[in-house]
């Protein structure tokens, strides 16, 4: 890597440490929620051009028909665009995106990126609820700005708890993952915990810089409170059912218990995935 590239990376990392992350995200959130015709059309048009959004797979293909940028960003897909793998033993990708990392959780440690890791206990923010995953399996899926931004069930299960965990709002791209220790266990997040035929499963929706919100089917849009909030649920969701959505790009972390499933060998860091694609199987 050149000196200029290293300098650019360091400036990017340091800038995230000093900007008012939450204040910036609130400002962006208000802009993204605006239904002012001129504002929302200008933002949608610029975003669509910048990231090359493919509207041909969307249920509503005219981007300017959406009431707000948020509605455009969390757009539904056209029927038949994403098929959920029908094999009852398969574990499917919860989202369109790219795998940041996946593999075994080693004595509670989850691999983040070269030289970086975090603990499953810190990620879930509750030692008792984290215990089943300490030697299990994990997969981290990064949703870039161009991707479909709804998160779906990797495997059928009953939602039993959600924990809103306050935190920072660093970017979650590869550069930040390689340079911010414990990134996914530091950012604001919504932890969703399930009972399944495989035992316990978790899907953690991790917030990020200028992400204007996280929403789940059980809680609605998250209202940051500054404190951990635990809620009980009893909601069964089929494999592939919608679980939640992000308002701007972020990351979903999937966790399973030990010796219950394995990831398919074809998948590794930087593999592209689509929602419903089989990534692993029960054992």
For residue 135, the Cα-to-chain-centroid distance in whole angstroms is 22
Catalytic residue selected from 93, 96, 100, 149:
96
| Rounded distance between C-alpha atoms, residue 191 and residue 161, angstroms | 8
Helix (H, G, I), strand (E, B) or coil at 114: coil
Catalytic residue, candidates 93, 100, 171, 250: 250
Per-residue exposure over 171-208, b if at least 16 CB sit within 10 Å of its own CB, e if not: bbbeebbebbeebbbbbbbbbbbbebebbbbbbbbbbb
Please report how the helices 37-51 and 21-33 are oriented relative to each other, as an axis angle in degrees rounded to 10.
Answer: 110
User: 100 CB contacts (<8 Å, ≥6 apart)?
Assistant: 112, 113, 140, 141, 142, 174, 177, 251, 269
Q: Is 250 part of the annotated catalytic residue set? A: yes
Identify the residue whose tokens are 């199987």: 281
Identify the active-site residue in 90, 100, 147, 152. 152
Our answer to whether residue 90 is catalytic in this structure is no
Q: Which residues are catalytic?
A: 96, 152, 250
């Amino acid at each position: 890597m050149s000196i200029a590239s290293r300098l650019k990376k360091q400036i990017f990392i340091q800038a995230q440490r000093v900007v008012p992350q939450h204040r910036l995200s609130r400002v962006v959130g208000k802009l993204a929620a605006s239904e002012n015709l001129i504002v929302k059309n200008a933002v949608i048009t610029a975003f669509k051009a910048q990231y090359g959004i493919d509207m041909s797979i969307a249920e509503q293909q005219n981007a300017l028909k959406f009431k707000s940028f948020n509605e455009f960003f969390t757009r539904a897909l056209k029927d038949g665009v994403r098929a959920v793998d029908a094999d009852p033993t398969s574990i499917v990708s919860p989202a369109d995106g790219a795998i940041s990392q996946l593999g075994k959780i080693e004595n509670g440690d989850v691999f983040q990126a070269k030289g970086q890791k975090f603990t499953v206990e810190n990620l879930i923010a509750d030692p008792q609820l984290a215990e089943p995953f300490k030697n299990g399996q994990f997969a981290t899926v990064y949703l870039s700005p161009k991707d479909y931004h709804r998160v779906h069930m990797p495997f059928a299960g009953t939602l039993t708890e959600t924990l809103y965990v306050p935190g920072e709002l660093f970017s979650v791209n590869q550069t930040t993952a390689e340079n911010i220790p414990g990134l996914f266990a530091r950012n604001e997040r919504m932890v969703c915990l399930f009972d399944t035929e495989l035992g316990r499963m978790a899907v953690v929706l991790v917030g990020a810089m200028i992400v204007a919100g996280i929403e789940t089917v059980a809680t609605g849009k998250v209202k940051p409170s500054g404190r951990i909030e635990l809620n009980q649920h009893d909601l069964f969701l089929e494999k592939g059912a919608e679980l939640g959505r992000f308002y701007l790009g972020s990351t979903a972390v999937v966790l399973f218990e030990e010796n219950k499933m394995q990831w398919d060998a074809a998948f590794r860091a930087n593999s592209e995935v689509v929602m419903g694609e089989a990534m692993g199987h029960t054992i």
